Structure 1
């Protein structure tokens, strides 16, 4: 049989192929093991084998290196080397010289496809507005670190005259590429380290975003203007590509979004068309030498978040990350030639890589110090900007294909990148813990309802997960008794899981955002706005949206409460039986727990079982509230909130104080009892002055069984019951022991009891209060709010 002719491919010719790798030759159906043909000679068989090997190797490296805090990038590169033909031949898994020529073409094609899609999706998820607040710092730090590293590498390469690096103008491109901080690398690394929502992580992400654009444009323009004969055509091609992306594709995408009904998902044909369009743009950009920049610009044109950005992410990212990208690392391992390493040349390349990383660290540290960032965090910022990832290797592969660096240089550079990541990532994970810093900040300045003067504005942070949380939260605000002397101001924050975005963000909600938001944000905010208007603006409302991963969302909530001097956070409670997905229920439960642990103020967990009935149509607001008071700061928070409610028409409050007989108290308990008595006396005095059906009762008990019995008598008597999360009564009410019998331990023993279906069915709502700690910090009622029109990421304290 004669060899088939070359296969036409996109205007060119794929040469040196004996047959197309995507065709099935009916005359070669004897390739099976029992038909006289070795299946290892087939490219597809080798491809499947390598995919299986790299997946298995990756899992093993993750398990082995997890105690050393190694990132996924290091494990992936090592797994790619293990799955390479060189290693597999050494391990005798495959016979020597058994790999077909088509195998490497298939591996590299699939790997490049995966890297292109990940780059495109990162651009889709990128919100360029997040750098606005940190623009000056990010520009200064980014330019200082990149330029210092580029200069050092350029001088060392010229000085040492590296034999594996092409001479001339490429030395400058080599220095710039090694120094580049790739935004996609930073995004995935920070998500793995769970520092995307931290202040330092936000600054590093903004810096990397600007560095990506700066270095890419600079290198592209340098290449174009280096050859005068092609400058006009190159620039014209680039401008034509930009015109196609912004003028044609961008308008078409916006038209598709406008034509899509609100709340309806985009048609799968749209997702498929845009996915194919990304490859076409990548092809056109690669023809003019700007593949990364072209793909990034096309991704930025697509609106991040729902409906389009999130749909693309959900449908494409998993396939690209878990199926296509592993073969990218196999291609890296295929190109790594450990046998080519020469110690003399290797020392020079390693010295250059280390010097470049140290120069970037020093440049970022000095620039951060000039921006008045603390020394510790300045050094950590320099480490963050040394994060390495697959897109650095993608650039090195292209240099190898263009033969501007040799195999030895490529091998040493790749191993150096892995070594730098293996050192930098554990240091960041060890020395930068946003949670410890958040806890320290919370301890310095905590607020509670007890400490608020009765004649100042009460600020409440209302966390909303979905539209079902709105009626009960509004009823709770209505019961809080907003007056001219003591108005209520609610910061309403819609908590939305980070989908279709690369950068988490908290931002004020605007009414014009109706068409670009999802999850009912518009209807949620409209309901609170109507409530504010109906209250004659005695209850103010300022809406925000938070887009972040659940595992880091509490940082935004806690910092927001700290900066706005908020004494009370209300978080909704969803039981596991109310959630459609078990993973979401677990994530929300962890979120509530993190907010309670790190909040700088009182946290109220609200179990809404029908508070909306208090605002029935055609009648005035009416609510019966019960307070279970035993002792301690948590119970005092519930009572302090009840005191503020006294005086609200048609709100009747009953306080049940449970007193233990014959209790031996230590000094701390004696002091607590004096504070308890003072707050009880304040309620009784206010009750006498108002005298609108408010009741105070004392009940004496001997043990925990009598406590449970007395609380059981409150069945079906109230619309809302407020309790503290825990209290300290030695010996007589052992909560630590009783928590093992509760369904929801985070609500405390009494909170779980009154929230159970056996207690009040689905009729009585519950508010469980958790005090942040006993402090003497005062309430800063004079702090002014930011104007509603000001855009911000999040006001943060200095690093």
Structure 2
């Protein structure tokens, strides 16, 4: 196969200093009050139960009579308290889903964002390498006066010892002696990016210090409060210049999976392989053509990934190739799949029209018979591109993925993303796996 054919006014967080406005009042009414009501109800239920069980014993004038419990009464009281202590948490979990606090009832994604207008992104980082990778991706997204970028840079740090969890907004001058120096290097990278694109990019820096099992709450709450359309997460694996794995964190993988389930907007997991490609972090993308590919099989996530790729194509320094893969044989689909096929066709039609006058965009259609055939085509693209954008979720019974889904080791990346993540180190390519916002039904 010929690879050449592929050719600033804003709201402060709820738990940060700021003005109490109508938006926060609405968040308080819809999200905080229900939780408080449930907690109060639990306390009332617990107190009433204790009153019924122990009331007659405490009604005595002499408290010492408590010690005169007979064995049967004491056993009954102890068993009742034990049952309440066990049943109450289970009952709360069944009637109150904490993830609903981040539920998205409005469209917060790239596909439904105006191409001429501000795009809000939350870039999450754990290390300096993550900050460089996010900056390069944002640089390729072509910020302009008509379509500026609002970047919320969040440095995630693990809580150590008995310190209290913190969310530091560096725009308000908040500093801590223990975290300032460690976060400053990450903040400086994004501030450098803002300076390079003065007037086109606005950066607001945050540091979240919490336990790893709660970090996804920090990410989702900030994304909800700041009305972002895309969360960028670093992949849990890191590679060095020789292509050897230097980090494989199950903690980061769990955080990413939790964010994918609870995020109030679209999410992108970025696999950064710039070191393996021989790209230094100090080299700007504008110094050479950046080769980007968008693989389209169909579905919400693929449309979201292609929408982001279309923004990149507005830059003359980006060479975009759109590859649409179709089944060689006609597949039997239901009504829902037919509707998705119509949405795919309309979006691709609009994409081809919008890009028809651009010399830096190439559209290719290829038919494949099964999953292995799909894998061969995708692997042949790895040497031809610097970045590949793919959607995370696809139809499980699709002929395009038959034989691939069974071997997926990282479901948070999907079948195509997993294939690209496990490719040969001799053909490194960075990958952005995109999941469109999960819209909740009211």
Distance 2:341 2:80 in 1: 60
Distance across 1 between alignment mates of 2:99 and 2:83: 27
Select which of 338, 347, 354 maps to 1:679: 347
Q: Deviations over 1:719-754 (max 9, x none)?
A: 11110112127451346x633423323211111111
Determine if the alignment matches structure 1 residue 602 to structure 2 residue 270: no
Between the aligned partners of 1:539 and 1:530, the Cα distance in structure 2 is 11
Tell me, yes or no, if structure 1 residue 715 matches structure 2 residue 377: no
User: Matches of 1:384 and 1:767 in 2, distance apart?
Assistant: 49
Classify the secondary structure of the residue corresponding to 1:600.
Answer: coil
Secondary structure of the corresponding residue to residue 259 of structure 2: helix
Equivalent residue for 1:764?
429
Cα 1:428–1:406 shift into 2, 3 Å = same
Shift of 1:424: 4.3
What corresponds to 1:638 in structure 2?
305
**Structure 1 residues 607 and 381, CA gap change in structure 2 (3 angstroms):** farther
Match of 2:41 among 374, 379, 386: 379
Structure 1: which 5+ residue stretches go unaligned?
1-129, 134-198, 204-370, 387-404, 778-799
Give me the whole-angstrom Cα distance separating, in 2, the residues matched to 1:646 and 1:766: 17
Verify the 8 A CA contact 1:610 1:762 in the aligned structure 2. no
SS of equivalent residue, structure 1 residue 444: coil
Residues 622, 407 of structure 1: alpha-carbon distance in 2 compared, 3 angstrom cutoff: farther
Q: Is the 8 A contact 2:102 2:220 kept in 1?
A: no
| Mapped pair 1:750 → 2:431 | no
1:571 to 233, 240, 244: 233
When residues 497 and 433 of structure 1 are mapped into structure 2, their CA distance, relative to the original with a 3 A threshold, is: farther
Of the candidates 651, 665, 672, which is equivalent to residue 318 of structure 2? 651
For 1:494-527, what per-residue CA distance to the aligned partner results, in whole angstroms no more than 9, with x for missing partners?
1112223454332312556264316721110111
Residue 132 of structure 2: which of 455, 468, 471 is its match?
471
User: C-alpha separation between the residues in 2 aligned to 1:627 and 1:479?
Assistant: 14
Shift of 1:472: 0.8
C-alpha RMSD of the superposition: 3.9
1:423 deviation in Å? 3.2
Please give the alpha-carbon distance, in whole angstroms, between the structure 1 residues aligned to 2:383 and 2:283: 18
- Which of 89, 92, 98 aligns to 1:431? It is 92
| Structure 2 partner of 1:704 | 371
Partner of 1:784: none
Please say if residues 382 and 428 of structure 2, whose CA atoms lie closer than 8 Å, have aligned partners that are also in contact. Answer: no
Aligned to 1:670: 338
Q: 1:449 touches 1:568 (CA, 8 Å); kept in 2?
A: yes
Q: Tell me the distance in 1 between the aligned counterparts of 2:81 and 2:221.
A: 32
Q: Does 1:559 align with 2:226?
A: no
Change (3 A) 1:591 1:418: farther
Cα distance in 2 for residues equivalent to 1:546 and 1:602: 21
Residue among 187, 190, 200 paired with 1:525: 187
> Structure 1 residues 487, 775: CA separation in 2 closer, same or farther (over 3 Å shift)?
farther
Return 5+ residue gaps in structure 2 as ranges: 1-14, 19-27, 49-62, 70-74, 239-243
Contact kept in structure 2, 1:634 and 1:769, CA below 8 Å: yes
Work out whether residues 320 and 361 of structure 2, in 8 Å CA contact, stay in contact via their aligned partners in 1: yes
After TM superposition, list the pairs within 5 Å mapping 1:299-448 onto structure 2. 375-380=37-42, 423-424=84-85, 426-432=87-93, 436-439=97-100, 441-448=102-109
- Larger fraction in helix: 1
Give the distance between the partners of 2:352 and 2:363, measured in 1 at CA.
7
Partner of 1:587: 251
The structure whose RCO (Cα within 8 Å, separation 6+) is larger is 2
Aligned pairs (5 A) from 1:535-550 = 535-550=197-212
Number of residue pairs matched by the alignment: 390
**8 Å contact kept, 1:561–1:600:** yes
Query: Structure 1 residues 763 and 731 mapped into 2: Cα distance closer, same or farther (>3 Å)?
Result: closer
Using the alignment, how far apart are the partners of 2:312 and 2:167 within structure 1?
A: 31
CA distance in 2, matches of 1:558, 1:675: 28
1:497 aligns with 2:158: yes
8 Å CA contact retained: 1:496, 1:545: yes
Asked if the contact 2:304/2:434 (under 8 Å) is kept, the reply is: yes
Partner of 1:120: none
Change beyond 3 A, Cα 1:617–1:684: closer
Distance 2:150 2:47 in 1: 40
SS of the equivalent of 2:287 reads coil
Equivalent residues of 1:661, 1:702 under 8 A apart: yes
* TM-score of the aligned structures, taking structure 2 as reference length: 0.76
Residues 575 and 762 (structure 1 numbering): CA distance in 2 closer, same or farther, change over 3 Å? farther
DSSP 3-state at the match of 1:624? strand
Q: Does 1:462 align with 2:123?
A: yes
Q: CA deviation at 1:379?
A: 2.0
- Per-residue deviation at 1:486? 1.2
Question: 1: distance between equivalents of 2:193 and 2:39?
Answer: 43
Q: How does 1:167-178 map to 2 (within 5 A)?
A: none
C-alpha deviations, 1:191-221, integer Å up to 9, x for none? xxxxxxxx99x99xxxxxxxxxxxxxxxxxx
CA drift of 1:417 comes to: 11
Q: CA deviation at 1:422?
A: 7.0
Q: 1:660 to 1:600 in 2, by over 3 A?
A: same
* Paired residue secondary structure (2:356): helix
Please give the per-residue CA displacement for 1:696-715, whole angstroms capped at 9, x wherever unaligned.
11111122222111112202
- Structure of greater Rg: 1
Q: Secondary structure at the match of 1:542?
A: strand
Cα drift, residue 619 of structure 1: 6.4
Normalized per residue, the structure richer in strand is: 2
Aligned residue number for residue 4 of structure 2: none
- Matched position secondary structure for 1:663: coil
Is this contact kept in 1: 2:370–2:400, CA < 8 A? Answer: yes
> Alpha-carbon deviation of 1:487?
0.8
Q: Distance in 1 between matches of 2:207 and 2:47?
A: 28
Q: Does the CA contact (< 8 Å) of 1:722 and 1:766 recur in 2?
A: yes
The residue matched to 2:213 in structure 1 has which SS? Answer: helix
Larger displacement relative to structure 2 (604-613 or 484-493): 604-613
